[in-house]
Amino acid sequence: MRVYKVGICSRDPEYAASLMMAVKEMSDGRMEAIVYSRPEVIVTCRVLQEPDLILLDTRTGPDGAEGDPEPVAAAWGERLGLPVVALTEEPSEFCIYKYQSVRVICTKILEILQKAGAVSSQPSGCIAVFSPLGRCGKTTLARALAGAKAEHGGLYIGMEEYADRRVRSEVLYQIKQRSPDVYEAVNREMMTEDGVPSLHLAGMYPDLRGVQKEDLEWFFGQLLQPGRLQNVVFDIGGAALEGPELLECFDRIYLPCPPGEHAAAKLRQFRDYMRERAKGEVLLRIIPVELSGEVVERADRRELLALLGR
């Protein structure tokens, strides 16, 4: 049975300690809890302790600015690279209300973890590397992830705005037609690029815009059947998505972030858009990864995977 690690960071240390004991006792062994005195401590301890989720009771963001609990939790999530959920004194759909029964709190925590695809040490079947920004290292990161999984049945799938070659693929048509032969088409069109099994679904983004959430879910079901693939890593360009609901299909979504305030401002706009358009749990699956231009240029697989804690 999977045991999740839940971090509790509250302004009230007595509440945090009580919740920690109650979570361990009332989750039937499915969760263990760790108490943090303040969010900054999580930054230094997360590599060793590997929490799956943080419950955060603060109105102070990582930049020191005060704000409402939910956006503050989202900002700390970006800083920590972890799912962070606000503990609040008022009921809210995407937060956890502090003053309710512990069993209800435990149930909601497990629901959030499952929806977020929380995996500390287990491989994810369907991973997306996505960014609304250009020249941010998205493709480099996606290839590094797919390459690391190649020997275990991994595949890189390109859904970029523009491929770097002419693409004539039957796979996209067979996905839309729900063809039982789609896996055979994948094998025919798959090629090895820099040691990474690769497939490009289209040459330009207009061909990808008709793909719906249900299409991807069906495609994943075909790819991940026993004896086929174990992991697929999608390289998704911002213009290639028909809508943000497509990201709901993925277990994890890595979001490459170039350094600098200009890029950070654009990514904040993107998160606000996702908060309005997509389901809240999708935001919990998004893991920001800061990639400098030097790291992207070197394209060293070990260095890139180390940034993801792998």
Q: Write the pLDDT tens digit of every residue in 280-299.
A: 667 777 888 888 888 888 88
pTM above 0.85, yes or no: no
Residue 117: pLDDT above 60? Answer: no
State the average pLDDT over residues 135-140.
91
> 42: which 2 tokens?
């999580």
Q: If residue 149 lies in a helix (H) or strand (E), which one and from where to where?
A: helix 138-149
End-to-end C-alpha distance for the chain, whole angstroms: 22
CA gap 102, 26 in Å, rounded: 7
- Whether 146 and 166 have beta carbons less than 8 Å apart is answered as no
Question: Out of 49-63, 109-123, 173-187, 282-296, which region has the weakest mean confidence (pLDDT)?
Answer: 109-123
Fold of 4-115: Rossmann fold (3.40.50)
Mean local confidence (pLDDT), 160-175: 88
The answer to whether domain 4-115 and domain 126-307 are alike in fold is yes
Parse the chain into domains and list their residue ranges.
4-115, 126-307
Is the pLDDT confidence value at 115 over 70?
A: no
Task: Assess whether pLDDT exceeds 70 at residue 99.
Answer: yes
Residue 160 confidence (pLDDT) above 60: yes
Query: What's the CA dihedral at 170, 174, 175, 176 to 10 degrees?
Result: 110
pLDDT of residue 278: 65
- Crossing angle of helices 69-80/39-49, nearest 10°? 40
What is the average pLDDT across 106-119? 72
Cα distances from 299 to residues 115, 144, 161, 234, 302, in angstroms, run 31, 8, 21, 18, 9
Q: Which of 40-54, 82-96, 118-132 has the lowest mean pLDDT?
A: 118-132
Mean pLDDT of 104-118: 77
Quick check: 163 and 120 in contact, CB under 8 A?
no
What is the mean predicted confidence (pLDDT) over 48-74? 87
CA distance 247 to 239: 13
H-helix or E-strand containing 290? Answer: strand 286-290
pLDDT of residue 9: 94
Q: Which CATH architecture has domain 126-307?
A: 3-Layer(aba) Sandwich (3.40)
What sign results for the dihedral spanned by CA atoms 197, 202, 205, 210? negative
Instruction: Average the pLDDT over 161-187 and give the result.
Output: 91
Instruction: Indicate the pLDDT class of residue 123, thresholds 50, 70 and 90.
Output: very low
232 in Cβ contact with 201 (< 8 Å)? no
pLDDT per residue as tens digits for the range 186-243? 999 999 998 899 999 998 889 898 899 999 999 999 998 877 888 899 999 988 888 8
Residue type, 177: Q
Residue that has been written with the tokens 């930049």 in this structure: 63
Strand 286-290 and strand 252-257: pairing? parallel
Assess whether pLDDT exceeds 50 at residue 65: yes
The pLDDT-based confidence of 121 (bands split at 50, 70, 90) is very low
Given a cut of 70, is residue 172 above it in pLDDT? yes
User: pLDDT band at 122, cuts 50/70/90?
Assistant: very low
Q: How high is the mean pLDDT of the chain? A: 85
Give the pLDDT score at 262: 85
**Per-residue model confidence as pLDDT tens digits over 5-31:** 899 999 899 999 999 998 888 877 778
- 6 and 55 in contact (C-beta within 8 Å)? yes
